[in-house]
Copies of this chain bind each other. A is one copy, B any other.
Amino acid sequence: AGPPKKRYSVTLLPGDGIGPEVISVAKDVLSLAASLEGIALQFEEMRVGGAAIDADGVPLPEETLSVARQSDAVLLGAIGGYKWDSNVRELKPETGLLKLRAGLGVFANLRPATVLPQLVDSSTLKREVAEGVDIMVVRELTGGIYFGNPRGFGKNDNGEDIGFNTEVYAASEIDRIAHIAFETARKRRGRLCSVDKANVLEASVLWRKRVTNVASEYPDVQLSHMYIDNAAMQLVRDPKQFDTIVTNNIFGDILSDEASMITGSIGMLPSASLGESGPGLFEPIHGSAPDIAGQDKANPLATVLSAAMLLRYGLGEENAAKRIENAVLETLDKGFRTGDIFSTGKVLVGCRRMGEEVLKSVDSQI
């Protein structure tokens, strides 16, 4: 195919638990898919989360952030583990992830929850309810109660201990995530549901108002509003009613995880976090699963599909992205399954072997 036409740098952040295993698989798949499209990727591996706490004393070393910032895209495995659970906040793995998101300015978190025909029976929902579910949750990622000030511990007027956080949104923060959500809905089935708690919270009243304003620029997208408690119910009752969902940081955390479990295959689900400019952050939505770490049992497909999102949204390389997605579907069609998505009659494989099978499929695509 001649010499590579394009070069990009990708920061790899394996993190903790099963992170290193799934990143190792995803890296190989990413490399191959890119090179078959004439793209050269240069990888740099850095520490984050518990791994960084242990080695560097902080969950996000400065060097990690600066390398990530200078690269074209960032692929993260997973962070966290029991070992660091009782650390103070500044020394929690999670704080490393939050600082990374803030440091990269990736305010828009796209979390697809799709039920693949091959895996519909993995869902705990009845087949007729789960079949065909295809939801995109657009979660605001760098604002709200995760980052709002004031926050901390103190005393109230009775001298009692209190703990407090601030849920706060500024108009521009809502507007920019709304634009991403409307653009996303427009490329999908044209329906956007904005989820809030505007019957109780002022932060949600402003959210609803701004989203409604932005809607006027997208006459082709049908906007609806739903309270978070109702949305949590409706996802269980009839998930197919949803196309694109936009919501704040904490509600998005909850709803996207619920939606992912409705698909029954959380080990399959990728995510993309994007900012105005600069590199995007791509990560599986599953956690670090410390109980199965290092045992070659993890499902690498969520990270492999995150690598596909990296190619599509991070580098604009649609063809290479499609190669990976097709290879994943083909590998599932051949019957290969890790333990989390195994069912009788299928071929049970480990993390590495699943990676090898995906590589074969990437390779064999014309």
Q: Is A54 part of the contact surface with B, judged by Cβ < 8 Å?
A: no
Cβ contacts A160-171/B at 8 Å (1 or 0 each): 111111111111
Q: Quick one: which of B80, B162, B204 contacts A206, CB cutoff 8 A?
A: B162
Cβ contacts A279-298/B at 8 Å (1 or 0 each): 00000000000000000000
B165 touches A202 (CB 8 A): yes
Q: Is A203 part of the contact surface with B, judged by Cβ < 8 Å?
A: yes
Q: Quick one: which of B89, B126, B232 contacts A258, CB cutoff 8 A?
A: B232
B163 touches A205 (CB 8 A): yes
With A197-B250, A232-B232 already in contact, the answer to whether A204 and B124 are too (CB < 8 A) is no
Q: Which residues of B contact A260 (CB under 8 A)?
A: 233
A49-94 at interface with B (beta carbon < 8 Å): 80, 89, 92, 94
B250 touches A236 (CB 8 A): no
With A125-B126, A145-B201, A258-B232 already in contact, the answer to whether A166 and B163 are too (CB < 8 A) is no
A130-189 at interface with B (beta carbon < 8 Å): 145-146, 148, 151-153, 156, 158, 160-172
* CA of A168 to CA of B207, assembled, Å: 21
B167 touches A162 (CB 8 A): no
Q: Is A317 part of the contact surface with B, judged by Cβ < 8 Å?
A: no
A258 touches B258 (CB 8 A): yes
A163 touches B207 (CB 8 A): yes
Q: Which residues of B contact A214 (CB under 8 A)?
A: none
Q: Is A261 part of the contact surface with B, judged by Cβ < 8 Å?
A: yes
> Which 8 A/B pairs are nearest by Cβ-Cβ distance?
A163-B206, A233-B261, A164-B168, A232-B258, A229-B257, A163-B203, A236-B261, A94-B199
18 extra interchain contacts, Cβ-Cβ under 8 A, other than A163-B168, A163-B203? A92-B199, A124-B129, A124-B236, A125-B126, A125-B236, A145-B167, A145-B200, A146-B200, A151-B202, A161-B206, A162-B168, A164-B203, A228-B253, A229-B253, A232-B257, A232-B261, A234-B261, A254-B254
20 A-B pairs whose Cβ atoms sit less than 8 Å apart in the complex: A80-B199, A89-B205, A92-B199, A94-B200, A124-B237, A151-B201, A160-B171, A160-B172, A161-B206, A163-B204, A163-B205, A164-B168, A164-B169, A165-B167, A166-B166, A166-B167, A232-B232, A232-B255, A233-B260, A233-B266
